Structure 1
Amino acid sequence: MNYQVPLLIDGQWRDSSSQEWLDITNPADESSIGRVAKASRADLDAALAAAQTGFAAWRKTSVMERSAYLRKAAALVREHAEEMALMLVHEQGKRLTEARIELSGASEVLEWFAEEARRCYGSMIPPRSPELRQYVQHEPVGPVAAFTPWNFPINQAVRKIAAALAAGCSIIVKGSEETPVALARFIQVLEQAGLPAGVLGLVYGVPGDISEHLIASPVVRKISFTGSTSVGKLLSAQAGAAMKRMSMELGGHAPAIVCDDADLARSLKLLGVQKFWNAGQACISPSRFLVQAPLYDEAIAGFQRIAEGYVMGNGLDKATRMGPLANPRRVAAMQALVDDAVAKGARVVTGGKAPDGKGYFFAPTVLADVPQDARIFNEEPFGPIAAFARFDSDAQALQEANRLPWGLAAYVFTGSATRGEWFKNGIESGLVGINSIAMGYPEQPFGGVKDSGYASEGGADALAFYLSSKFVSQTI
C-alpha cells in the first residue's frame, strides 16, 4: 500500500505548498505505507482564512440543518466504516475488532451531537419591571483549532468535530502525523455529507509550529487539545495569553482498587480488558493496581494468566489479542519503566521485555510489589504494563489513589455499596468506575480534574464549551 495523505483547506484536498512530506510507518512490521503532506505557514494562513469564511456561513445555518447534516454524516461513516477500520490497523496497529469499535463509536458521537444541536436552549430571566424582557441566548464561539493524538485518531477527533459543527463553529483539525490516513478518509466522508467549504479543515506537520501559529491567530477563538499534560500546559499558556477558550483532555494514571470483598474473577476480567485495550495506549487505562492484602497473591496469579493469554501480532490476524505500540519511542519507554521498577525492588511476574523480530511490540507485563518511588507509579506508562501493590486499609488505598497530580479515571471493585460510595466520594477523578469499566460513550461526560485537564468532551455539557452566552435586556 502507498497512502498519499493531503491537506484539506477551503474545501480542496491539496499537497503542501512547500511540497514537503512526512513518512507513515506500519508499527506491526515497520514497513513504510505512505506519506502525509507537511503544512507550511502559507498553508496554515490559508486554512485560517477559510475557517473564518466557513464560520460566517455555518453559523447562519439553522440548528435543524446542522442536525440533519450530522445524521447524514453518521450514516456515511457507517457505510465506509470497514475501509477506515483497515486503515487504522495499518497505521496505528490496533486490532481490527478495536478499530471497528472506534468507527462504530464515531457514528454514535455524530448522532448524539445531531440531537444535542437541537437543544441549545436559552433562558428567560424574570424582569424587575413590566416593560423589560431579559433573556440569555447561546451563540457559536467561533473558529476552533483542534489538536488530536495518535492513539485513537478518529475517536478523539470526532468528539471535537461533532461538537463544533453542532454548535455552529468552523474547525481546523490538526491530526497526528503518525496516524493520518484513517482520519483524512473520515473527514473526506464527513465532507460528502454536504459541508460548505471552509467549515472543516485538516492539516498535518510539525506539532509545535502548527499549534503556535494557529493559537496565536485572532481567527481562532477556541482550542481543544487531547494529549500529554506537559504539552497541554504549554498550549494552555499560549491560549491563555490570547484569552482563548480551551478544552484540555490530558494524561492520566488511573488507580484500580480491588478490595478484599470484591468478586475477584470478575474484577480481573474487566480490568484486563481495560488494561490491554489498544496495547494500554489509552488515557483511561488502569495503571496502578492496588489490591487489598488478603487477595493480593491470588490477584497477581489471576492477572498473570490474563496477560499471558494476550497473543501479540498484526491487528489483521484473527489470533491477535494485542497489537504493537505506536512507535519505537513507546517500546523504549516501557523497557525503561520495567528496568527502573525492578531496580527498586519490583518483581516481573510475566512479560517485561520486547520480543525479537519486526514491529514495535512489548509483551503484556505484570509487575508485583512495585514500590511507591518507582517511576511507573509516578509517570503515566501508556502501555501494556500492570503494576501491582498491596494495601491494608481503605484509607491507605484512597491516599495512594489521590497522591498523583492526575485525575482522569479511577476504578474501584468492592462487594459493599457503602464502601463503593465512600470511595466514589473520596477519589479525585473526573471519571470513576465502581465495579464497572463503562466509560467513554457519547452520552457520558469525558474529562478530568487536576493535571488531567478541564472541560468535558461528552455528555450533555460538551456543547457548552463551543458556545458563548449572551445576555439581552430589552425594553418593549
Structure 2
Amino acid sequence: MKQYHSLINRAPVPRVKKRDLIGPSNETTVAQVSVATNEDVTAAVDHAVDARTEWAATPAGERGRMLVEAAASLEKRVKEASLRMAIEQGKTVAEAEGEFVRAVETLVWNGENAERLSAPLPIDDTRCLIREPIGVVAAFSPWNYPAVLSARKVAAPLAAGCPVILKAAEESPAAAVAIVEALWEAGVPAGAVSLLLGDPSHLSEQIMARPEVRVISFTGSTRVGKLLAARAAQNLQNCVLELGGNAPVIVTAGVDLKDTAQQVAEYKFEHAGQSCNAPGRVFVDQTIYDDFVAELEQAAAHYVLGPATESTTVMGPLFAQRAVERMAHFTKDAAERGAKVHEATTRPDGPGFFWPPTIISNVPPESGVLEEEVFGPILPVVPFDTIDEAIQNANASPYGLASYVFAADETTKRLVTSQLDTGSVSINMLRGVRADVPNPGRHESGLGYEGGEPGFAAFQNLKLVNGAAATLFEGSSDA
C-alpha cells in the first residue's frame, strides 16, 4: 500500500501513527499517511530558520533558475502524480493532468520573474526601496486542488527568498510530495522547503506558536481562516488568506444560450463543483429563463459519473461521505421550499461518494443553496426582471471572490463589472486563475493577495534607503 510521510531535511519521516486515506471512488483504503509529531514541527521550523539567511542571500536569479528547473522536474512526475490524485480525491485523471499544467506554469512564472520582482525600487536620485525576504513562511494548502495550490503556496515565497514549511492536505498528499521532491531535485536547500502531513489543527497551532514564522498563507474555509488570523495576531504574523466563495453568474438577454450554458456547466461541474471559484448561483433574465434552464439541463446531462480513473468518466465522486450528505441536505431544503430539482444524470451502482450534476430552478431566496457555499455539483438558477435586481441579488452574499457576467451590449458589461462586489469579474467567459495575476477575495472570501506581482510582494519587506541610494544599489537585482 502507498505510504506518505512528511519530508524534512531532504528525507521522509515515517511515524507509527498513521491515517488511512479512503479513495472516494470505491470507499476503500488506498494509502496511509504518517501523522507528523511536535518533534517534526520543531525540526521543520528549526531547519527553515537555519536556512533563511543563506536562502535570502542566494541571488534572486539563481533562486528563479531553481524554480524553473523544479517545474521541468515536476513535469516528469505528472503522469504518476495525476493518477494518484485521481485515486486519492476523485478528480478525473484528465482534470488532474490539467491542474499539474497550471502548477508547472506557477513555478515557471515565479521563477522567471524572481529577479525582476526582487530588484530595488528607485524613488528619486537619493532614495530607493529595497525589497527583502520577510522570513519563514507557513503555508497551508487544501485537498481540492492540491497541485496548483501547493505550487502557489511555495513558488512566490521561495522566489522572494523565504523558506517555506508546507502543510499539505492529508486527504490528497501525492501532489505536494511531487512538488517538494522536484524542488529539492532542482537544488533548493533542504531547510528552505519542508512538507508536513497530519492533523491540521494541531500542526497549525504548533507552527504558528513559533515567532520565527512571519507569514501565514492559507487556502480553505472562512471559518478556519478566521481562527488562523486570530492565532496569527499573537505573534503579529502576516496573513494571506484565500477563503470561501459563492460566485454569482449573471446571464442577460442577447447571448448565445447554448454556448453560455455549456461554459457554465463545464466550470461548475469540474471536479464535481468542489472549487471556491466555481459558479454558485446563476441569475438569468426572465425573458430567457426557461430556455436557459433547459439548455443548462441538457449540458449537465452529458456528465457521465464514474470512478475517477476510468477513461469514460466525465465527473468523478465527491471527496467524502459528508459531502454527499451535505448535497442531500441542500437538495431536500430547496425541494421542501418549492424549488424544482433536476438531477441531470444517474449515480453509478456500487460504492463511491457520488452525487449527480443537479440543476435547481425556481429557488426561493431563503434557500440554503443560495445563501451558503455548496462546494458540490448543485447549481441554483434564479430569474430576474431588471439588471439592477440581478446585481443586488449577486451581491447579497457574505463572500466576494469571483463573479461572472454574460452580456451582449457594452453598457451592461460596464455596469455589472463596476457594481459587482467581488475580487474578480469575468465577462462572457469562465476561467481559472492564472499565475501572473492576483486572486483577491473580498469580505468573507479572504485577506491579501495570492498570485502575480501583489502575491509575490506579500513575502517581502520594504526598506527605505535615504542618501546616495541611486548609486549605492545601481544594477542590483537581489532582495
> Which interval holds the TM-score relative to the shorter structure?
over 0.9
- Alignment match, 1:172: 165
Q: Which amino acid aligns with 1:401?
A: A
Deviation at 1:430, TM superposition (A): 0.7
Contact 2:114 2:159 in 1 (8 A): yes
Find the aligned partners of 1:244 and 1:182 in 2 and give their Cα distance. 27
1:350 aligns with 2:343: yes
Deviation at 1:454, TM superposition (A): 2.1
Find the aligned partners of 1:355 and 1:69 in 2 and give their Cα distance. 45
Contact 1:335 1:352 in 2 (8 A): no
Deviation at 1:10, TM superposition (A): 2.1
SS at match of 1:144: strand
Q: 1:298 aligns with which of 287, 291, 302?
A: 291
Deviation at 1:436, TM superposition (A): 1.1
Deviation at 1:474, TM superposition (A): 3.5
Q: Which amino acid aligns with 1:339?
A: K
Which string of whole-angstrom CA distances, capped at 9 and with x for unpartnered residues, describes residues 396-415 of structure 1?
A: 00001111110001010010
Deviation at 1:72, TM superposition (A): 0.5
- Alignment match, 1:202: 195
Contact 1:355 1:363 in 2 (8 A): no
1:101 aligns with 2:101: no
Deviation at 1:79, TM superposition (A): 1.7
SS at match of 1:366: strand
Q: Larger relative CO (CA 8 A, sep 6+): 1 or 2?
A: 2
Deviation at 1:55, TM superposition (A): 1.4
SS at match of 2:20: strand
Q: 1:192 aligns with which of 175, 178, 185?
A: 185
Find the aligned partners of 1:160 and 1:75 in 2 and give their Cα distance. 18
Q: 1:67 aligns with which of 61, 64, 68?
A: 64
Deviation at 1:160, TM superposition (A): 1.3
Deviates more, 1:181-190 or 1:387-396: 181-190
- Alignment match, 1:8: 7
Find the aligned partners of 1:184 and 1:80 in 2 and give their Cα distance. 10
Q: 1:55 aligns with which of 43, 49, 52?
A: 52
Deviation at 1:351, TM superposition (A): 4.7
Find the aligned partners of 2:349 and 2:61 in 1 and give their Cα distance. 55
Which string of whole-angstrom CA distances, capped at 9 and with x for unpartnered residues, describes residues 239-297 of structure 1?
A: 12321111000000000111112221111111111100010000100010111101111
- Alignment match, 1:280: 273
- Alignment match, 1:231: 224
Contact 2:267 2:431 in 1 (8 A): no
Q: Which amino acid aligns with 2:53?
A: A
Q: Which amino acid aligns with 2:436?
A: E
Contact 2:77 2:178 in 1 (8 A): no
- Alignment match, 1:130: none
| Structure 2 CA distance for partners of 1:475 and 1:103, relative to 1, 3 Å | closer
Q: Which amino acid aligns with 1:398?
A: I
1:310-459 residue pairs with structure 2 within 5 A?
310-351=303-344, 356-459=349-452
Deviation at 1:26, TM superposition (A): 1.0
- Alignment match, 2:120: 122
Find the aligned partners of 1:390 and 1:475 in 2 and give their Cα distance. 63
- Alignment match, 1:35: 32
Q: Which amino acid aligns with 1:12?
A: A
- Alignment match, 2:258: 265
Contact 1:335 1:353 in 2 (8 A): no
Q: Which amino acid aligns with 2:408?
A: G
Alpha-carbon RMSD: 1.4
Deviation at 1:183, TM superposition (A): 1.8
1:111 aligns with 2:108: yes
Q: Which amino acid aligns with 1:14?
A: V
TM-score normalized with structure 2 length: 0.95
- Alignment match, 1:469: 462
Contact 2:254 2:408 in 1 (8 A): yes
SS at match of 1:289: strand
Q: Which amino acid aligns with 1:361?
A: F
Find the aligned partners of 1:360 and 1:274 in 2 and give their Cα distance. 20
Find the aligned partners of 1:252 and 1:352 in 2 and give their Cα distance. 26
1:256 aligns with 2:253: no
Contact 2:438 2:449 in 1 (8 A): yes
Which string of whole-angstrom CA distances, capped at 9 and with x for unpartnered residues, describes residues 375-427 of structure 1?
A: 11111000001111100100000001111110001010010111011000000
Contact 1:412 1:434 in 2 (8 A): yes
Find the aligned partners of 1:444 and 1:325 in 2 and give their Cα distance. 29
Contact 1:93 1:315 in 2 (8 A): yes
Deviation at 1:353, TM superposition (A): 8.5
Number of residue pairs aligned between Structure 1 and Structure 2: 468
Find the aligned partners of 1:298 and 1:71 in 2 and give their Cα distance. 48
Find the aligned partners of 1:181 and 1:157 in 2 and give their Cα distance. 11
Find the aligned partners of 2:351 and 2:180 in 1 and give their Cα distance. 31
Find the aligned partners of 2:319 and 2:277 in 1 and give their Cα distance. 17
Which string of whole-angstrom CA distances, capped at 9 and with x for unpartnered residues, describes residues 317-354 of structure 1?
A: 12111000011111111110111111111111225986
Deviation at 1:15, TM superposition (A): 1.2
Contact 1:134 1:474 in 2 (8 A): yes
1:289 aligns with 2:295: no
Q: Please list every run of 5 or more consecutive structure 2 residues that lacks an aligned counterpart in the other structure.
A: 470-479
1:92 aligns with 2:89: yes
Find the aligned partners of 2:54 and 2:18 in 1 and give their Cα distance. 32
1:146-165 residue pairs with structure 2 within 5 A?
146-165=139-158
Deviates more, 1:385-394 or 1:443-452: 443-452
Which string of whole-angstrom CA distances, capped at 9 and with x for unpartnered residues, describes residues 305-326 of structure 1?
A: 1111100011221211100001
- Alignment match, 2:473: none
Contact 1:270 1:437 in 2 (8 A): yes
Deviation at 1:475, TM superposition (A): 6.7
Contact 1:355 1:362 in 2 (8 A): no
SS at match of 1:24: strand
SS at match of 1:80: helix
Contact 1:116 1:463 in 2 (8 A): no
SS at match of 1:288: strand
Find the aligned partners of 1:231 and 1:326 in 2 and give their Cα distance. 19
- Alignment match, 2:476: none
TM-score normalized with structure 1 length: 0.96
Contact 1:3 1:181 in 2 (8 A): no
